[in-house]
Amino acid sequence: MTPASAAAPTVGDTATGAVAPAAGARTTGEITMSHHIARRSARVAAVALVALGGLVLAGCTGDDEPAAPSTASTPGASGAPTSSGSATPPGDPTAPATPGDEPGTGPSATAAPASVPTDCTDLVDAATLAELTAVGPLNDPGYFGDQPTGAVTPRAPQPGADLRGVVSAATQLYCGFRDPRADITGILISVATVDAATAEAYPAWLASDESTGDLRTTPSTCTDDLGGTRCQLVTTEPQYGVEYAETVLVRGDVVVTVTQSNAPTDGQLMAAIVARVWG
């Protein structure tokens, strides 16, 4: 800063000619030119300062101004950065599917609950019931006597009973189509609800030699059918030489048993029972 006692003359002072120029001093024209140059330089400097300030402010963006996108990396599909211009790698086509992805599986594909009728006339549809009563009257006391039929109360199995005896003791609906005048002809149907262990073991037992005896000269053949396991044996009754068949369906905790003596059906009897018990 120039001291006050040595202040330089202003342009106005020089222009009036009140003070004679010293030897070697610039003329008025030189001072005026220098003044213009100085003013122009000052304006240039000011513009440069403003421009520099703008550059500084431009680098300080606020929250309402999105920052310029970086060209170093771009977000991939998973959110992790990937190299610019690269594609997100596809998933591994050999990866195993998550359980339950397949249609028809999981919590929504559950079996219908069983509802065992309490009356034999409700066990099958009307057309099938007519075919059965054509074989023999339903639960005719002339044949069954005091034996309980229809809705029956399950009882405890006899000590040492095999699995067939355990299932028989659990019977809750027993329907017989037998003609009192016939010795062998007839159809018997029983429905029982058993515990999980019996239901699981019964098909394998029927398919083993342990199940043979009396008219059951061979083990049953078991297959998956009608929403459960169906076991069947067909043999010849030795005294009369007629066909004897036993068909058992184990589905959940319900066991349906159909025995036929000299009374063949069209193969749809068990399906008709399933439609009523499981809807």
pLDDT at 265 over 60: yes
First to last CA, the chain: 107
pLDDT at 106 over 60: no
Angle between the N-to-C axes of helices 126-135 and 269-277, in degrees from 0 to 180, rounded to the nearest 10: 130
Q: Which CATH class is domain 120-277?
A: alpha beta
Strand ranges of the sheet holding 228-236, from the earlier edge strand across to the other edge: 150-151, 171-178, 186-193, 254-261, 243-251, 228-236, 221-225
- pTM confidence score: 0.61
Arithmetic mean of pLDDT, 245-268: 94
- The pLDDT assigned to 177 comes to 98
- The pLDDT assigned to 215 comes to 76
**pLDDT tens, residue by residue, 35-89:** 433 344 444 333 333 333 433 333 333 333 334 443 343 343 334 334 444 443 4
Report residue 92 as tokens. 């591994």
**pLDDT tens, residue by residue, 153-180:** 999 999 999 999 999 999 999 999 998 8
- The pLDDT assigned to 151 comes to 98
- The pLDDT assigned to 267 comes to 83
Q: Are strands 186-193 and 221-225 parallel, antiparallel or unpaired?
A: unpaired
- The pLDDT assigned to 222 comes to 98
- The pLDDT assigned to 112 comes to 78
pLDDT range class, residue 214, cuts 50, 70, 90 = confident
121-125, 134-138, 197-201, 263-267: lowest mean pLDDT where? 263-267
Top pLDDT among 270 and 33 is at: 270
- The pLDDT assigned to 227 comes to 97
- The pLDDT assigned to 37 comes to 36
Report CA torsion sign: 154, 118, 245, 147. Answer: positive
Instruction: Evaluate whether 261 touches 185 at the Cβ level (below 8 Å).
Output: yes
Taking the CA atoms of the chain, what radius of gyration do you get in angstroms? Answer: 52
- The pLDDT assigned to 226 comes to 97
Q: Can you give the residue ranges of every domain in the chain? A: 120-277
CA dist., res. 131 & res. 123, Å (int): 13
* HEC sequence for 167-233: HHHCEEEEEEEECCCCCCCEEEEEEEECCHHHHHHHHHHHCCHHHCECCECCCCEEEEECCEEEEEE
DSSP run (H or E) holding 96:
none
